[in-house]
Structure 1
């Protein structure tokens, strides 16, 4: 096994072991799985063009004591274990272009505590992130594209990808929750993170409907779309709109030695619809992603899907 895959497996094993240890404490402290959320973002669900921020899959496993509809006041009582796999590509998957970004595959695993501080919801934690050929993204995307009959990444593109590396990650999210009127909620947020990229981001979302009421809402890293990991099901339709802007101070996937210059800001605008039935729930959203580096030929649109089934 390669060093990065071994490191990822070790990190995942440590987290699973930690979760198992928490399970041993159920009888004493009442810790248990509160919910599992997942979200899949891909450009095929958006503008349909396989380029730049191509795909991302996130799974969030949340553990703690009984969910009451509100976050606890203490750090460490509700923990989210987050797993993410992301693929970023150049615009042309066949021929490397020195004026475009390089191919990048990334895997990450982390643990984040969610709690209240005053009137704000706080998410604070960190983990490990891995980049490079050893993540297996290139070979996986090639096989998937060949199976689907679409253009796979060429040997030249994969040979030019971001190299193998391991990063310590840290993230702080501060989110407000303001009821504007019956059925309308405004959720402003501020985020800082370090690791593969170091950035500060500010933005907000408006929810029309019951989505996320008395629930733990999490944010997809790729698109900024919200997804529900813990809480009761608010049946019916809800609509969401949101936007944010970020200042990126450092990026390992658009490195300074690539000759590319980061844009002054990184902007996102999104909209989505959520439907929840008795046993099935479905979210679909689209996000406009602004340019990330000077000389990027265009912005892009990605789509996000969250399918929830209860048996």
Structure 2
């Protein structure tokens, strides 16, 4: 409980710092992204499902990140279901079930042409989250197999997790742009990642784009120009994984390198938008027989 109190105090201080640095703070936007491997390779395994919801507050948005740390804050909630290959009868040699809930605050800012973000999340895992019961209920609604992971879950724990990202955007030809980035994370999983995102079309123009943790897919936190039409988003990254609390299990040997390849289509309408993407995730532990495809979806309505 002392750890939880300390982390919650840190989150409060991050928000309070932003409040002190920016007068006239207001709601700037909401963003969300839903992932499920049933939308990708039509299985129910490993990085099975997740949902992220973000609320961004700060000064009036002018199409670029502020140059002050803490002037713009994203409050982030996330739920994730990481499962063995068979959730009805888990194999003893497979990874343990991870039901994760996380709550955090991230500040997004810019120094020169370099866009940066720094955030702290409280990641809660284990049976205490009741995420397995939520997944079991959802399976019941969809007439899928039940989730029976009693005794096959990671232990109850709370992991403060820091994430830092820096990237720079370069335009090339017409509506094309590329944004290389680096990411450092320490906590529930400790890793260093390098990658890039390529966009063709108006997606993200003048917007604050946020990165989904499991897939790396981008989603909108603050709307920018609503350029009507279809955009294509491609991306990929590779990470060196120093440690993963999700795979801290006897008999499971984590892979120290992970790769992600992703593609998506974003359609902007006059009164809303729709995004669908797919991400290939490489194996996360040595006995995982293959990688997987995860589908992502996001939609918004403009009033």
Q: In the TM superposition, what is the alpha-carbon distance from 1:194 to its structure 2 partner?
A: 1.2
Query: Over aligned residues, Cα RMSD in angstroms?
Result: 2.3
What secondary structure, in the 3-state scheme, does the structure 2 residue paired with 1:44 have?
Answer: helix
What secondary structure, in the 3-state scheme, does the structure 1 residue paired with 2:86 have?
Answer: coil
Q: In the TM superposition, what is the alpha-carbon distance from 1:11 to its structure 2 partner?
A: 5.0
| Residue 117 (structure 2) aligned to one of 123, 138, 144 | 123
Q: In the TM superposition, what is the alpha-carbon distance from 1:182 to its structure 2 partner?
A: 1.5
Q: Residues 187-198 of structure 1: matches in 2 within 5 Å?
A: 187-198=179-190
Gaps of 5+ in 2: none
Aligned to 2:227: 234
| Residue 245 (structure 2) aligned to one of 252, 258, 265 | 252
Aligned to 1:307: 299
Gaps of 5+ in 1: none
What secondary structure, in the 3-state scheme, does the structure 2 residue paired with 1:159 have?
Answer: coil
Conservation of the 8 A alpha-carbon contact between 2:38 and 2:294 = yes
What secondary structure, in the 3-state scheme, does the structure 2 residue paired with 1:253 have?
Answer: helix
Pair 1:203-2:195 in alignment: yes
Measure, in 1, the Cα distance between the counterparts of 2:46 and 2:150.
14
Measure, in 1, the Cα distance between the counterparts of 2:121 and 2:234.
30
What secondary structure, in the 3-state scheme, does the structure 2 residue paired with 1:261 have?
Answer: coil
| Residue 158 (structure 1) aligned to one of 119, 131, 150 | 150
Measure, in 2, the Cα distance between the counterparts of 1:93 and 1:302.
17
Pair 1:60-2:75 in alignment: no
Q: Structure 2 length normalisation: TM-score?
A: 0.92
Pair 1:290-2:282 in alignment: yes
What secondary structure, in the 3-state scheme, does the structure 1 residue paired with 2:150 have?
Answer: helix
| Residue 90 (structure 2) aligned to one of 96, 99, 112 | 96
Measure, in 2, the Cα distance between the counterparts of 1:127 and 1:219.
14
Q: Residues 42-57 of structure 1: matches in 2 within 5 Å?
A: 42-57=36-51
Aligned to 1:112: 106
Q: In the TM superposition, what is the alpha-carbon distance from 1:118 to its structure 2 partner?
A: 2.2
Pair 1:86-2:76 in alignment: no
Residues 134-183 of structure 1, C-alpha deviation per residue, up to 9 Å, x if partnerless? 111111111111121101112xx232101110111111000111001210
Conservation of the 8 A alpha-carbon contact between 2:242 and 2:256 = no
Measure, in 2, the Cα distance between the counterparts of 1:62 and 1:292.
32
Q: In the TM superposition, what is the alpha-carbon distance from 1:264 to its structure 2 partner?
A: 2.9
Q: In the TM superposition, what is the alpha-carbon distance from 1:98 to its structure 2 partner?
A: 2.6
Q: Structure 1 length normalisation: TM-score?
A: 0.90
Measure, in 1, the Cα distance between the counterparts of 2:302 and 2:54.
17
Conservation of the 8 A alpha-carbon contact between 2:207 and 2:223 = yes
Measure, in 2, the Cα distance between the counterparts of 1:223 and 1:113.
21
Once superposed, which parts of structure 1, at least 4 consecutive aligned residues long, lie more than 4 Å away? none
Measure, in 2, the Cα distance between the counterparts of 1:196 and 1:143.
26
| Residue 127 (structure 2) aligned to one of 109, 122, 133 | 133
Conservation of the 8 A alpha-carbon contact between 1:39 and 1:59 = yes
Measure, in 1, the Cα distance between the counterparts of 2:155 and 2:278.
30
Q: In the TM superposition, what is the alpha-carbon distance from 1:127 to its structure 2 partner?
A: 2.6
